[in-house]
Each structure stands twice: as structure tokens, then as C-alpha cells.
Amino acid sequence: METARRSGGVVDLDLASVATGIAILRASRIIATLLRGRSRKEIVRPMRKVILLVGGVLVLACGGDGGTTAPPPPSANSWVQKASLSDGSLSGAVSFVAQGKLYVGTGLRANGFSYAFSEYDPIGDKWTYVVPLPIDPRSNAIAFAIGDYGYVGLGSNFTCGGLCTYHFFKDLWRFNPQNWVWDRMADFPGTARSSAVSFVIGDKAYVTGGTYFTDYDLWEYSPAANSWTKKADYPGGCSGRGTAFSIADKGYVGLGYSNGMCTDFWRYDPAANSWTAIANFPGPARYDALGFSVANVPFIVGGARELNYLTDVWTYNPASDTWVQVQTTYPGKGRSQMIAAILAGRVFLGLGTNFDTGGPESRFDDFWEYIPPK
């Protein structure tokens, strides 16, 4: 078993926070000097609202009849922009949520393929670097979370010197958010590939699709046994660059690209190890679209349609087997290869590209919270 461990530590002082603290301390000393020797009755009225400007910092102290009103919460079916990814634009990345934090990493940057990972804290709206994936940089990998751990694997990269040589991977790594340790797990038993999809049902993960037209195989991964089991092949029309999500005890896979784009969608039942066709996606055919579900309501956002990159949002109702276009669009530019995460019922999404092999201007670092319709 290969292991990469965090070593050392750095104390990063925020100078702006230090300056603010000093200003507040000075303000408190001035207030104490002004009020020294006065009676309690004389102090109460002046102190109901004291405003001081010290060193460029506004200090407001409020008493019983003062105070401020909290801003209203965002309305349903709206978007709130969050802190952009701290280390720049990124496409073809993966994401997973473990122990209340979002982790985003790998992918393609302006300077090449990445193995870096960052942690997002939704409370502080802040990104922090964590230990990178301890092996080859890559994009279009898979990721999922089960229990307290995140898992990352597969993917590809390429090197060019006249002709480009592609490298595909089948390794799987487990990340522990408590100590930032990566452990290598059992390799994926199918062909090495990128652009596969994964979904989680209970304590198992499922992986299908990929680079080649023959990548219709479905594999189940058990973290408890650290083993893979072959399951019924995916019967859909497109094997690569599809979209997947899960609802309760079922997995859903569709869209994608193989000799053209697809709109078909299929439901997988792990208990019966069988696939059932559901209603075709009614929007434009696409690939590399984003799929996720929150409170058992699935969504599809964006994707690519040749050189047309989309911003539309769709939802699916499994009870009525119907798709509905949501009356909103992703607020950034149209794109594919986005990431999404559900943190305590909140939906976060962003990053991606509007030209797979384009330059730095074709990748994005913007990050948003989406408040779904009620």
C-alpha cells in the first residue's frame, strides 16, 4: 500500500485581520478614557450607539435600541457567487464531499495537467490547499465519497512533442480528510480510461463508460472489501462523457458521446443488477454535462454540444418519469466539465471549460451556490 503523508506546518498570518484587531483595541482604550469617572446613568445613554473611526476602521457598538438587520436569505431558484477557486481556472476536475468539506482537484490548468487538491469550507467561504494526489497529474478522472473518505481514480493526460501521446490510468486512491493522507486502493479491473461516470448507492460505488466505444462495462466497488465486482453492462447509446446521479437506491446514467451525441437515459437497480430505460432527455443532446441530486431531486446543468456550450438547467421526476426545464440558467458562461457538491443540503457548482483543448481563457474558476426551487 502506497501512502503520502502531510509533513510540517505553516502559520499564515492575515495582516489585514491583525490591523483590524489593533484598531479595535485602540478604540476600546479611547472609550475607556472618555468614560472614566462617570456614573452608570451617565454612561448608559451615550453608549447606546458609539461610532468611532480609528485607523480607517469603522467600529460600531450598539446598545438596547441600536443594532442591525440581517440581510434576507436568497430567494428560491437563485444563484449566489462564492469565492473563486484560489489556484486559478480548472477544467476536467473531480470533486467529493467528506466530513463536511468539499475537495476539488486534478484537471487541466493553464500550465498543464494537475494533481493539486483544495478544500472548500462553506462557512468561511474559503479555499485551502491540501496534500495533492501522490501520483500522475490527470484530468477527466472519477471521484466519489463513501463514509468518511473520498476516492479518486482513472483519468488521463498527454505529452506532446510533434505528436501527442495519451496516457490512461486505472488506479484508485482514498483520501482521509482528518490527516490528509492518500492510500492506494485496488486498481480498477476494467481497461484504463478517462471520461467515465460514477454514482454511489448505499455503501457501494458504481463506475461505467469511458474513453473507448467498448467501455460499456459496469463495475461495483466495495470500500469495506476493497474489491471490484463486474455487473450488467450499461445498455445506453453513448459510452463516453456521460452524466450520472443517484436517487435513493437507484443509479441513473445518460447523455454522452459515441459516434455522435445521445439523449437516452437509463436507471440501474443494484438489487436486480438490471437496467431500465427511462424517458429520453428532452433538451438538446449533449456530453460532459453536470449531474447531481439534492434531497432526492436530480438536476442536469450545462454541457457541450460540439462547439456550443450550454447553461440550461433541468430536473427529473422519477415518480412521473418526466423532465422539466427549470426557469433559470447557470449565471456564468456556457460550459462543460463542471464540478458540483452538496454540503448540508446546499448546492455548490462551478469551474469547467468552453473549449476542451483551448487556451487559459477557455477555462474557469468561478464558483456559485444554487438555491433550488421549493
Q: Residue 70's pLDDT is what?
A: 62
Q: Residue 69's pLDDT is what?
A: 66
Cα separation, 222 vs 180, whole angstroms: 22
Of 135, 94, 155, 103, whose CA–CA distance to 2 is shortest? 135
- What are the domain boundaries of the chain? 15-62, 78-371
Give me the residues paired with residue 261 across strands. 257
- Going residue by residue through the chain, which has 374 residues, state the pLDDT in tens, using 9 for 90 and above: 444 444 433 334 343 443 444 444 444 444 444 444 444 444 334 433 333 333 333 333 344 444 556 667 889 999 999 999 988 999 999 999 999 999 999 999 988 999 999 999 999 999 999 999 999 999 999 999 999 999 999 999 999 888 889 999 999 999 999 999 999 999 999 999 999 999 999 999 999 999 888 999 999 999 999 999 999 999 999 999 999 999 999 999 999 999 899 999 999 999 999 999 999 999 999 999 999 999 999 999 999 998 899 999 999 999 999 999 999 999 999 999 999 999 999 999 999 999 987 788 899 999 999 999 98
Q: Residue 374's pLDDT is what?
A: 85
Q: What is the CA radius of gyration of the chain?
A: 25
Q: Residue 113's pLDDT is what?
A: 96
Q: How far lies 19's CA from each of 23, 44, 139, 308, 348, in Å?
A: 6, 29, 41, 48, 32
Q: Identify whether the C-beta of residue 75 lies closer than 8 Å to the C-beta of residue 371.
A: yes
| Domain 78-371 CATH superfamily | Kelch-type beta propeller (2.120.10.80)
State the pTM of this model: 0.81
